[in-house]
Amino acid sequence: MAQTRLSVDVLPRQAAAAVVPSFNGSSYLRHPALGDSALSWLDLDIVFKTQSIDGLILYEGYQKYGSADFISVYMIDGHVEFTFDLGTGTVSLRSPWTVSLGEWHRLWISRTGKLAVMRVDNQPEIQILSPGAFTQLSLPLSMYIGGVPDFDTVPSQIKVRTSFRGCIQKVTINDKPLQIVRGALSGANVANCPHPCVAKPCGNDVQCVPIFDKYKCVCDRRCNSSDGDQVSFDGTSFVHYTGHEVQQRITNGHLDINMRFRTTALTGLILWTGRSDRSADFLALGLQDGRIEVTYDLGSGETVLRYNTTGLPINDGHWHRMKFTRDERLSTLTIDNGTKMITISTGRLKQLNTNTGLYLGGTEDVEKSTGKRYRKGFVGCISDFILNTDYQVKLSWSTGRERVCIS
């Protein structure tokens, strides 16, 4: 995926390409000072995904050098820590448990006068009182997100001396969403975090709002709300993608498939890629007995991953979101907000080597293509089809039997 990087002193409009910013350990974004808005109270709501057990997430101080008033949020030894000083001594709140790497987390911090309260995800809420008589926080200098250009300017009471590595999806300060990239005065080495919003699934005129690994489309008064492209399959219709953009994303060590669907059918092939000589490598995604099933072979044995954690079929006619990922031999499957199913393929081979392109909704001959694993194509609706978090697949037709999906 092409990355857009933000250099020092870049104008905010040039930074707009970073939808969900990622930080590489040498990155930072400089924002205007909080000033009087944090004087008596401060509420922070941060959604982040870390790749390292240590790293500075947010910092703002009273003076460039020294240890007067400041606030800081950072990772330390896998815990989230909030440290602040009202001018009468530093206090810290540390999350009771460590947070997992590579997963989205939500952090809430509320400070009113001397009292600070913090919670991470579903961990226990913790609180602390600042010492001394001071109850106000003076923050006249710039606020930094993801790191700072010079750690010599950061008070020694802040235990971490490295910048953040990971993604910061949302920062809300006193109930006002921060434009993390567009609102920055300057910054360095900020790129796009892999996320469905990068592919503009809502279109150019509708705002895509990230919600952890998912998103919602937000329309203002100038546009009409839409669920995006929705297309219907009748069991014989299909779309065949042979272009380079799709092929390169399905034939390597990593694959991420994200789509919405709805159906009342018990069985049917949703997605297929294989080899023209019908040799080992293939991947099939479809419905079996009203449940999503993924079957694939990397050349050293067939692997089946079936989603059955809820005990209920998903052919209920309602919209569902399906996410399948494969990182070499490790695969995961998630439906809606349910439990993630995980499996590891047999053998040592790690790459999917197919050459037929990608079929959506079926193939010319479903039984022959799939070795009788499926007997017909998909009956239902599909929308928001995204590959590898950065490429929205256009839902157009090869068969000429296009039908609108009835909401």
Model-level pTM? 0.61
388-to-41, 245, 246, 252, 257 alpha-carbon distances in Å: 41, 11, 10, 11, 6
Q: Tokens in use for 296? A: 């694939």
Name residue 343's amino acid. Answer: T
Strand ranges (E), 2-114: 21-31, 41-50, 55-61, 70-76, 79-85, 90-94, 104-112
Angstrom distances, CA of residue 39 to CA of 73, 176, 290, 335: 18, 16, 56, 44
Distance CA 110, CA 75 (A): 18
Q: How far is CA 120 from the centre of its chain?
A: 18
Residues 6 or more apart in contact with residue 145 via CB below 8 angstroms? 28, 29, 31, 57, 58, 168, 171, 178, 180, 184
Question: In angstroms, rounded to a whole number, what is the distance separating the alpha carbons of residues 191 and 324?
Answer: 24
Angle at 365 between CA 363 and CA 366, to 5 degrees: 65
15 DSSP 8-state letter: G
DSSP string of 128-173, one letter each residue:
EE-SSS-------SPEEES--S-GGGS-TTS---SB-EEEEEEEEE
Rounded distance between C-alpha atoms, residue 54 and residue 50, angstroms: 9
- At 255 the pLDDT is 92
In this predicted structure, what is the pLDDT of residue 67? 60
User: Phi then psi for 268, rounded to 5 degrees?
Assistant: 155, 145
Residue 12: the pLDDT is 40
Largest CA distance in the chain: 79
For residue 392, give the nearest of 382, 404, 401, 405 by alpha carbon: 382
Q: How buried is 387 (Cβ within 10 angstroms: 0-12 exposed, 13-18 middle, 19+ buried)?
A: buried
Distance, in Å, from the CA atom of 301 to the CA atom of 162, rounded to the nearest integer, reads 44
| pLDDT for the residue numbered 135 | 93
Question: Which residues, 6+ apart, have CB-to-CB distance to 87 below 8 Å?
Answer: 62, 68, 69, 132, 134, 138
- Please, what sign has the CA dihedral across residues 131, 137, 143, 145? positive
pLDDT at position 95: 98
The predicted structure's pLDDT at residue 405: 52
The predicted structure's pLDDT at residue 203 = 62
Looking at beta carbons, which pairs linking 11-16 to residues 24 or more positions away fall under 8 Å? 12/179, 12/181, 12/182, 12/183, 12/184, 12/185, 13/182, 15/181, 15/182, 15/184, 15/187, 15/190, 16/181, 16/182
pLDDT of residue 407: 42
List the domains of the chain with CATH numbers: 21-195 (2.60.120.200), 230-392 (2.60.120.200)
How far the first Cα of the chain sits from its last, in Å, is 33
SS3 197: helix
Residue 31: predicted pLDDT: 97
φ, ψ of residue 12 to 5 degrees: the values are -55, -35
* pLDDT of 105: 98
Per-residue pLDDT of the chain (407 residues; tens, 9 = 90+): 334 344 444 434 434 467 899 999 999 999 999 999 999 999 999 999 999 999 999 999 987 655 689 999 999 999 999 999 999 999 999 999 999 999 999 999 999 999 999 999 999 999 999 999 999 999 999 999 999 999 999 999 999 999 999 999 999 999 999 999 999 999 999 999 988 888 777 666 667 788 888 776 665 544 443 445 678 888 888 888 888 889 889 988 889 999 999 999 999 999 999 987 777 799 999 999 999 999 999 998 999 999 986 667 899 999 899 999 999 999 999 998 788 899 999 888 988 999 989 999 999 899 999 999 999 999 999 998 999 888 888 875 444 344 445 44
